[in-house]
Amino acid sequence: MYRDIKRILPLLIVAALLIGGASWFAGLIGRPELAASLQWIGIAVAATGVAHIQRRILLPKIDLQALGSKASEQPTGAGLAFLGLCYLVATLIQTLAAVSAR
């Protein structure tokens, strides 16, 4: 649990700074067109942190480090484990986007 907080808290702090301070920073450097891009980057970083929390809630007993080391014994296993994890995270992010769009 503590390990997850150390991973997610910096992500959420960076996301909050990017979302909240994008206009200020873009004005500071004299490039106001960057504000929207910085805000979208902040939203993507926040979605990544929230997707990690969702994954830990949905699959609390899966240790990804052990899964990765076991899967790396075979090239096919490593590829399938990577694709499965990418699919899971993409699904969680899409679900989060669909729910937040309402």
1 has a pLDDT exceeding 70: no
Whole-angstrom distance, CA of residue 85 vs CA of residue 72? 14
Between 68 and 76, name the one with better pLDDT. Answer: 76
With 0.75 as the threshold, say if the pTM is over it.
no
Q: Where are the beta strands (DSSP E) in 1-102?
A: none
Which token pair is 33? 């067109």
Q: How buried is residue 48: exposed, middle or buried, by Cβ count under 10 Å (0-12/13-18/19+)?
A: middle
pLDDT in tens, 27-59: 999 999 999 999 989 988 888 888 888 888 887
Whole-angstrom distance, CA of residue 87 vs CA of residue 80? 10
State the pLDDT at residue 55: 81
Q: What percent of the chain shows pLDDT beyond 90?
A: 26
Residues 52, 88 contacting (CB under 8 angstroms): no
3-state secondary structure of 92: helix
What are the domain boundaries of the chain? 2-100
Whole-angstrom distance, CA of residue 36 vs CA of residue 87? 27
Helices (H), 29-63: 34-58
How sure is the predictor about 24, in pLDDT bands with cuts at 50, 70 and 90? Answer: very high
